[in-house]
Amino acid sequence: MPNFPHEGILFKDITPLLREGGAFAVAAELFANVSESYDVVAGVEARGFIFAAAVGAVTGKGFVPIRKSGKLPADSFSQSYALEYGEASLQIHKDALHPHERVLLIDDVLATGGTLTAAAKLIQQCGALVDSVAVLIEIDGLNGHEKFAASGVNVPISVLL
């Protein structure tokens, strides 16, 4: 989707995959199998929620939302980050994760790595561990892998497609 949500951005729309039940199920299974050692699944708003909630449900490990700023009702940690087209902030409830819990972090698209870095830092603020990170697709040329690695979160990113 060219020029969405802003001029010059090429948006990767995953909604056609979600509409196809078989493809959606395969994606959820691929996400679930990224690691065998996670205790809980966290997903980044908004499309990361879809996959992470499905994985949390089918594995019985549960789901923790990482939301855009101002959307959570209880005491929350907050982390700002840069987007391709501006800045944003993510939040997680302070009691969403237990210390030393191992978390599978899921989002739909890896672009610059800012969103995943912010989400990983929120998980760490809760005292939990980022066990694994997975995205459906990566946008080439934006160096998301490198920027995420440079953030100090020492976990590789699995790209499913």
Task: Enumerate the active-site residues.
Answer: 47, 84
Three-class SS state of 39: coil
CA distance 148 to 135: 13
- CA-nearest of 93, 117, 120 to 104 is 120
The length of the chain is 161
CA distance 66 to 96: 10
- Phi and psi at residue 93, to the nearest 5°: -60, 140
